[in-house]
Amino acid sequence: MLNIEVFYNGNIDRETTDIVENIKYKFGKNVNVKLYDTNETAIPEKYGILNPPVVVIDGKKVIKLSGKDSLEEIVTKAIF
């Protein structure tokens, strides 16, 4: 199972929550996705300074998102 943490700014970004729900539906048991609004939840210190939107895969690899399609592409590539 792939663990994915998505950090986004809920004041600016209104699409990430829908994209994450779609990923959960599409990939089901292959992924464990956690969504964090950085306005409500602090970024864990172990990741240092992150500038949302950012995806962390398995707590190790940090990837900056460049658009709404990139999140699903990243998850697809990470699984396969």
Residue 34, φ and ψ in degrees, nearest 5 = -120, 135
Q: What is the CATH number of the domain that holds 16?
A: 3.40.30.10
Residue 32 inside a domain? The answer is yes
What is the Cα–Cα distance from 51 to 14, expressed in whole angstroms? 16
Residue 55 inside a domain? The answer is yes
| Overall number of domains in the chain | 1
Range of the domain at 48: 2-60
Give the residue ranges of DSSP H helices in the chain.
16-27, 68-79
Cβ atoms 51, 38 nearer than 8 A: no
pTM: 0.85
The reported pLDDT for the residue numbered 80 is 66
Residue 56 inside a domain? The answer is yes
Tokens 């460049």 label which residue?
Answer: 66
The reported pLDDT for the residue numbered 35 is 94
Residue 35 inside a domain? The answer is yes
pLDDT, averaged per 10 consecutive residues of the chain (80 residues), comes to: 92 89 88 93 91 91 80 76
The reported pLDDT for the residue numbered 58 is 93
3-state secondary structure of 50: coil
